[in-house]
Amino acid sequence: MRSRRLLHRLELLKRRVKCMSEYIVELKNITKRFPGVVALRNMSIAIKPGEVHGLIGENGAGKSTLIKVLTGVHQPDEGEICVNGTKQNFKNPNDSREAGVACVYQELNIVKLLSITDNIFMGKLIKNKSGILDYKEMNKQAYEVMKSLGQEINPTKESGKFGMGVQQMIEIARAVQVDAKIIIMDEPTSSLGEKEVKQLMETIRKLKAQNVAILFVSHKLEELFEICDRVTVMRDGEHIITQDTKDMTNDSLINAMVGRSLDNLFPKVVGKKGAAALKVKNLNSVGLLHNISFDAYRGQVLGFAGLVGAGRTETFRAIFGADPIDGGSIEIDGSAKVIKSPKEAIKQKMAFLTEDRKGQGLVLSQSVKNNLIMSSMKSFLSGVFFDNKKIADYCNGRIDELRIKTPDMETPVSQLSGGNQQKVVIGKWVNTDAEIYIFDEPTRGIDVGAKIEVYNIMNQLVQENKCVIMISSELPEILGMSDRVIVMREGKIMGEIDRDTEQFNQESIMKAAWGGKLV
């Protein structure tokens, strides 16, 4: 019996290979290969307890693969993972959760029909001595953990009845409840408004004070400098640099990330204002939109700003025929139009690059090639057959121009990173014969290098006398690329600001977004 115990202890000692004790998580020389591509090559990163550690890199740099290796979705081909000083071999996500690794993904894993309590305790339900679910205790704990994150709300309510900010806090609460040692936050602010972002930053500081490590993945440089202690830069699946944030600048961070300097982040080209391509008058949708009226001109970028929930996307879904309207009129190039479906909108030479790339912008099971030509298939016909050479030339050209990282054009778009999927959505629409382009959050989840490529596409469209409308939650982007800005709040237009006026600044836009009047 004694010898058996000794052998068991020796076996445990073999499994528990100690890593550097100053780190809560350490990935050492991780390599991960997929058919036709090496996603990670000798990648290393080490995160300290109570540290907010930024992770940044261009789309396709390997960030998503790194997250999936750390959360047990993928198993590395080479290298090792250590958590809390113990070598780990994660065979699935359950293994990583048991080791104290939690992840709040960009696309939240919330079951909206379930209560806050059910979402927080999913997979970790509490039962009483009789084996019955103890909702009294779970509701109590759910309330307390949400309160600790700044959300004093009823945990028995359906999660889907709350906004994105609260839903994200539910995901974080789930991680806190299972006593996670490290929480990975993947583009956590991509769908949040300014108020919600401030709340998230405060929550991160509270978690940091509780010695919880945060791996903060973001393309927003200002957020990295605000919240992170150190930043690791990846490029082409490899580690480039890890440095204290205080020792970095915007320029040095960008240079490390893309391997070149980006002198002008917003390469605005001022076009020649032409005729009104789109006129909207008194557009109404009960409970959503209230007397929306504006003109959008050829040769210009019209920016739409506002807080999350202001009604910007809803406005253009209604104009594009995706949602019904209850009143108002739409004119295109001076002619009144009744648009009841997206198909009719496309016939009227409108293009809508949706913010929901996975749900509405792409067919994930189809190839990059098929998605790129989906909106312009007729242009690739030669008689009754497709011109495969023309298709290949177009697709390869778009892949090069937008720097879409993919093994080839036949790769299913589901295998691409989120940012590269966004580039495919953009590439899909720019080959159409549209005259009015609606870009809804076009650079969400895209790295700074790719953003410039998107802005240059907008510039090209403007120079071709097209009408470009851009919905964005990024104020620097709105100010950097718009000729005029319309600010919305609660389904109403609060103000319109021209680029040449003194009010064309962040303060005026935010004043209008919060309900103030522009003088």
- Which CATH number do you get for residue 480? 3.40.50.300
Going by DSSP bridges, is the β-strand pair 213-217/182-186 parallel, antiparallel, or unpaired? parallel
Weakest-pLDDT range from 283-292, 372-381, 403-412, 471-480: 372-381
- pLDDT classification of 260: cutoffs 50, 70, 90: low
Give Cβ neighbours of residue 168 (< 8 Å, ≥ 6 apart).
104, 108, 188, 192, 196, 200
Asked if 170 and 118 touch (Cβ cutoff 8 Å), the reply is no
Residue 324 lies in a domain: yes
The pLDDT assigned to 99 comes to 92
Instruction: Give yes or no: residues 377 and 328 share one domain.
Output: no
Q: Which of 412, 433, 454 is the last residue of a domain?
A: 433
Q: Is the dihedral of CA 484, 194, 245, 61 positive or negative?
A: negative
Instruction: Give yes or no: residues 339 and 365 share one domain.
Output: no
Distances (CA, A) of 250 to 51, 194, 261, 281: 21, 21, 10, 43
Residue 89 in tokens: 């071999």
Going by DSSP bridges, is the β-strand pair 300-306/467-471 parallel, antiparallel, or unpaired? parallel
Separation of alpha carbons 454 and 452, rounded Å: 5
Tens digit of each residue's pLDDT (9 = 90 or more) over 183-198: 999 888 877 777 788 8
pLDDT greater than 50 at residue 17: no
The pLDDT assigned to 188 comes to 85
Tens digit of each residue's pLDDT (9 = 90 or more) over 52-104: 999 998 777 889 899 999 999 999 999 999 998 889 999 999 999 899 999 98
Separation of alpha carbons 276 and 331, rounded Å: 9
The pLDDT assigned to 250 comes to 84
Mean pLDDT of the chain: 87
Name which residue leads in pLDDT, 217 or 416. Answer: 217
pLDDT greater than 60 at residue 289: yes
Kindly tell me the number of DSSP H helices and DSSP E strands found in the chain: 17, 22
Separation of alpha carbons 457 and 225, rounded Å: 29
Separation of alpha carbons 220 and 444, rounded Å: 10
Q: What is the mean pLDDT of residues 125-147?
A: 89
Instruction: Give yes or no: residues 384 and 341 share one domain.
Output: no
Instruction: Give yes or no: residues 343 and 381 share one domain.
Output: no
Instruction: Give yes or no: residues 422 and 274 share one domain.
Output: no
Separation of alpha carbons 68 and 417, rounded Å: 12
Tell me the whole-structure pTM to 2 decimals: 0.67
Domains: count for the chain:
2
Instruction: Give yes or no: residues 428 and 476 share one domain.
Output: no
| Cβ burial 426-435 (10 Å sphere, 16+ → b, else e) | bbbbbbbebb
Among 506, 109, 41, residue whose Cα is nearest residue 497: 506
Instruction: Give yes or no: residues 364 and 342 share one domain.
Output: no
The pLDDT assigned to 285 comes to 92
Please, which residues bridge with residue 327 across strands? Answer: 284
Instruction: Give yes or no: residues 276 and 342 share one domain.
Output: yes
The pLDDT assigned to 15 comes to 45
User: Domain span at residue 369?
Assistant: 357-433
Instruction: Give yes or no: residues 341 and 363 share one domain.
Output: no
The pLDDT assigned to 91 comes to 93
Distances (CA, A) of 406 to 235, 326, 411, 423: 15, 44, 7, 11
Residue 226 lies in a domain: no
Instruction: Give yes or no: residues 340 and 362 share one domain.
Output: no
Q: What is the mean pLDDT of residues 440-445?
A: 84
Residue 294 lies in a domain: yes
288: helix, coil or strand?
A: coil
- pLDDT classification of 12: cutoffs 50, 70, 90: very low
Instruction: Give yes or no: residues 307 and 370 share one domain.
Output: no
Instruction: Give yes or no: residues 334 and 363 share one domain.
Output: no
pLDDT greater than 60 at residue 110: yes
Q: Which of 410, 433, 456 is the last residue of a domain?
A: 433
Residue 414 lies in a domain: yes
Terminal-to-terminal C-alpha distance of the chain: 86
pLDDT greater than 70 at residue 112: yes
Q: Which of 408, 433, 458 is the last residue of a domain?
A: 433
Asked if 322 and 342 touch (Cβ cutoff 8 Å), the reply is yes
Residue 511 lies in a domain: yes
The pLDDT assigned to 7 comes to 53
Residue 112 lies in a domain: no
Q: What is the mean pLDDT of residues 371-392?
A: 86
- pLDDT classification of 344: cutoffs 50, 70, 90: very high
Weakest-pLDDT range from 18-27, 66-75, 175-184, 415-424: 18-27
Residue 401 lies in a domain: yes
Residue 203 lies in a domain: no
Q: What is the mean pLDDT of residues 331-359?
A: 89
Tens digit of each residue's pLDDT (9 = 90 or more) over 261-288: 666 788 998 889 999 999 999 999 988 9
